[in-house]
Amino acid sequence: MSSVKVVVTGLGATTPLGGDAASTWSAMLAGRSGVRALTEDWAADLPARIAAKAAVDPSEVLERVQMRRMDRTQQFALIAAREAWAAAGSPEVEPERLGVAVSSGIGGINTTLNQYDIFKEKGWRRVSPFTVPMLMPNGPAATVELEFKARAGAHTTVSACSSGSEAIGYGIDMIRSGRADVVIAGGTEAALHPLNLAAFASMRALSTRNDEPERASRPFDKNRDGFVMGEGAGIVILERAEYAAARGATVYAVAAGVGYSSDAFDLVAPDPNGGAAAARHALADAGLEPSDIRHVNAHATSTPTGDISETEGIRMALGDAADDVAVTATKSMTGHLLGGAGAVESIAAILALRDGKVPPTANLDDIDDGVVVDVVRGEPRVLPEGRIAALNNSFGFGGHNVVLAFSRA
Amino acid sequence: MAMSEQEILSGLGEIVNEIAGVPADEVTPEKSFVDDLDIDSLSMVEIAVAAQDKFGVEIPDDQLKNLKTVKDVINFIQA
C-alpha cells in the first residue's frame, strides 16, 4: 500500500448514452440502452447489424479543421478530457508536474483502413500526411498532452479491453512514484468499421439480436448471445490528495488502488482465477478488506462464457463478503467500448459511490443459473452510507486483468 | 489557357480554408504560409496536393520548400 493518496477530481465522458458524464450517468440510472440498428449499406450483409454509436458526434462539438487532423479516437478523448479538466476546475499545475495516460484498445484503425482505401484507389500522393499521427495507438494520449501542455510524460497502456482501466492504474502510479501531481487518464475507442464488425463476428463474439437492438446487450441473462460494439471515451483527472486539498478541489472519490494479473491460460477464453487474483491485488494495493467493497462494476460484456466466469472470480476474491456486494454491468446500456470501457465504467463506479446508487443491469430478464453474485436489476440499488469502496473489473483478450479500487472521499 | 493571378488566389484561398481553417480573405499574396497563416509542414503537403488537383500543376517536393509565400505559389503555378 502506497503512502501517497490519489484522488479523482474531474470526470468527462462521451458515450452512446450521452455527450458528457452527467447525461451518461443519468441514462445508466434510468436503465436506458444506447444500442441501435446499423442502417448503413455496408452493414447489410453482416451477421451483427447493431452497434452503440456515440450519442453526440464529435462534429457537433469540435471545429472542422481540428476534426480532420484527428482520428475519431482522438476526437472522443479530447472532448472527454476537456470536460474532465473543466470539472476539476482547470488546475493551474506546472506542465512538468502534469502527466497523461490515455489508451485505446485498437488505436486509429478507421484512419488506417480509410487511408488504405485511398492508397489503393488514388496512389500514395493522396494519402493524408496526417495518417501516421492519426493511426498511432498513442495518438489520443498525444492529442491530450498537446491540448493541456503536459510535460511529465504521456503514456498509452495497451491491453485490449482493459486498456482504459490500465491507463488509470498507470496514472495512479505516476502520482505515487512522484512523477506528477495531476494526471489526465482514461481510454477511448472508435472502431465501428465494417472490418472490425466482421472480425469480431468471425470470432462469433457479437450479438446477432438484430431485430431488438436495445435488448441485445444483456450481461448475465440466460439468453445473451455476445457483445455489442460501442464507441466513445472516458477521462478522469487524478490528483495527489494533498495537492488537490491545497487548491480546494472537489473530490469525487479516492483512487485507492489497482491490481493486475495475466491468465496465462488462453488467448481469448477467460479464467476466473485471473480476475480473482487481480481483485486481491487491488484490495492489497488499496489497503482494503473484502468487507469494504459494496459494489463491483463488472466487465461483463454479454458473452456466454465471460460473464459467468467473472462472477466466480468475484466470489473467489471476496469470499462471503461477496453476498453484500451490488454487482452491475453497465455494458448492458453502453455496449462494449473496448479500450474506452474501463474508463467509462470507472466513472460509473465513482458516481455510484458519490450518489450512493448502483445502476441496474438492463435486459436482465432471466438470470443465468451460473451467476454466483447479486446483480442489480430493475431499479437502481441504494448503497450504504459510510466509507465504502467499489471495484471496477476490466479484462482483455490476451488474458489481461485490471481491477481498480475506488473508495468514498 | 493560363489562369489569372486573381483566379489562382481565389482557388488557393478555398484550399487553405478547407485544410487549415484560415479565412479565405486572409490568403493574400504577401502572406507567408508558416509565419503569417500559421500553417504547419504537414498541412503544406496537403495544400500542395490539393493545388495540384485544382490547377493541374505538380509541385515537386524539392520545390515545395522554396514556396514561402502565397505569391510564390501563384508564380509557380503561372510559370
pLDDT in tens, A246-260: 999 999 999 999 999
Are residues B46 and A126, on separate chains, in Cβ contact within 8 Å? no
- Estimate to the nearest angstrom the gap between the alpha carbon of B49 and the chain centroid: 10
With respect to residue A113, please indicate whether it lies within any of the assigned structural domains: yes
Asked if B1 is an interface residue toward chain A (Cβ–Cβ < 8 A), one would say no
With respect to residue A253, please indicate whether it lies within any of the assigned structural domains: no
Q: Running DSSP on this structure, what letter comes out for residue A229?
A: B
Q: Of the residues A246, A266, A287, which one is the last residue of a structural domain?
A: A246
Nearest 5°: CA angle at A261, between A257 and A264? 175
Instruction: Judge whether A336 counts as a catalytic residue.
Output: yes
Residues of the domain holding A401: 258-408
Regarding whether A231 and A317 lie in a shared domain, the answer is no
pLDDT digits 0-9 by tens, A43-62: 999 999 999 999 999 999 99
Are residues A63 and B42, on separate chains, in Cβ contact within 8 Å? no
With respect to residue A274, please indicate whether it lies within any of the assigned structural domains: yes
Regarding whether A180 and A82 lie in a shared domain, the answer is yes
Asked if B64 is an interface residue toward chain A (Cβ–Cβ < 8 A), one would say no
How far apart CA B4 and CA A409 sit, in angstroms, is 69
Regarding whether A287 and A182 lie in a shared domain, the answer is no
Are residues B46 and A129, on separate chains, in Cβ contact within 8 Å? yes
Residue A275 C-alpha cell reads as 480476475
Helix A194-202 × helix A109-122 angle, to 10° = 120
Query: What is the per-residue pLDDT for B2?
Result: 72
Instruction: Flag whether pLDDT at B10 surpasses 90.
Output: yes
pTM: 0.96
Contact A188, A77 (CB under 8 A): yes
Q: Kindly list the strands in the beta sheet with A6-14, ordered across the sheet, starting from the edge strand earlier in the chain.
A: A154-155, A98-103, A182-189, A232-240, A6-14, A253-262, A400-407, A389-396, A293-297, A326-328, A374-375
| Mutate: best of B14, B26, B46, B53, partner A, most A CBs <10 A | B46
Regarding whether A305 and A207 lie in a shared domain, the answer is no
Regarding whether A387 and A365 lie in a shared domain, the answer is yes
Q: Which residues of chain A does B43 touch, with a Cβ-Cβ cutoff of 8 Å?
A: 129
With respect to residue A2, please indicate whether it lies within any of the assigned structural domains: no
Regarding whether A88 and A219 lie in a shared domain, the answer is yes
Mean pLDDT, chain B, whole residue set: 92
Q: Running DSSP on this structure, what letter comes out for residue A356?
A: T
Q: Give the burial string for A149-167 (b: 16+ CB within 10 Å, else e).
A: ebebbbbbbbbbbbbbbbb
Could you say which of A64, A66, A129 has the minimum Cβ distance to residue B42? A129
Q: Which residues of chain A does B20 touch, with a Cβ-Cβ cutoff of 8 Å?
A: 65
Q: Running DSSP on this structure, what letter comes out for residue A378?
A: S
Regarding whether A334 and A236 lie in a shared domain, the answer is no
Regarding whether A184 and A78 lie in a shared domain, the answer is yes
Q: How confident is the model at residue A297 (pLDDT cuts 50, 70, 90)?
A: very high
Query: What is the per-residue pLDDT for B67?
Result: 93
Regarding whether A362 and A241 lie in a shared domain, the answer is no
Asked if B23 is an interface residue toward chain A (Cβ–Cβ < 8 A), one would say no
Instruction: Flag whether pLDDT at B1 surpasses 60.
Output: no
For residues A91-96, average pLDDT: 98
Are residues A128 and B20, on separate chains, in Cβ contact within 8 Å? no
The pLDDT > 70 percentage for chain A reads 100
3-class secondary-structure state, position A101 = strand
Q: Which of B40, B53, B62, B72 is catalytic?
A: B40
Are residues B42 and A126, on separate chains, in Cβ contact within 8 Å? no
Are residues A128 and B46, on separate chains, in Cβ contact within 8 Å? yes
Regarding whether A199 and A51 lie in a shared domain, the answer is yes
Could you say which of B21, B45, B52 has the minimum Cβ distance to residue A129? B45
Q: Which residues of chain B does A68 touch, with a Cβ-Cβ cutoff of 8 Å?
A: 19
How far apart CA A169 and CA A288 sit, in angstroms, is 16
With respect to residue A146, please indicate whether it lies within any of the assigned structural domains: yes
With respect to residue A1, please indicate whether it lies within any of the assigned structural domains: no
The nearest CA of chain A is from the CA of B20 a distance in Å of 6
Are residues B49 and A63, on separate chains, in Cβ contact within 8 Å? no
Regarding whether A276 and A224 lie in a shared domain, the answer is no
Instruction: Flag whether pLDDT at A1 surpasses 80.
Output: no
Residue A127: closest CA among chain B residues belongs to which residue? B46
Regarding whether A46 and A11 lie in a shared domain, the answer is yes
Are residues A129 and B19, on separate chains, in Cβ contact within 8 Å? no
The pLDDT > 90 percentage for chain B reads 84
Q: What is the CATH number of the domain that holds A141?
A: 3.40.47.10
Residue B10 C-alpha cell reads as 481565389
Q: Of the residues A246, A280, A309, which one is the last residue of a structural domain?
A: A246
The nearest CA of chain B is from the CA of A38 a distance in Å of 30
The residues of A whose Cβ lies within 8 A of any Cβ of B are 63-66, 68, 125-126, 128-130
With respect to residue A292, please indicate whether it lies within any of the assigned structural domains: yes
Q: How many domains does chain A have?
A: 2
Q: Of the residues A224, A246, A268, which one is the last residue of a structural domain?
A: A246
pLDDT digits 0-9 by tens, A144-185: 999 999 999 999 999 999 999 999 999 999 999 999 999 999
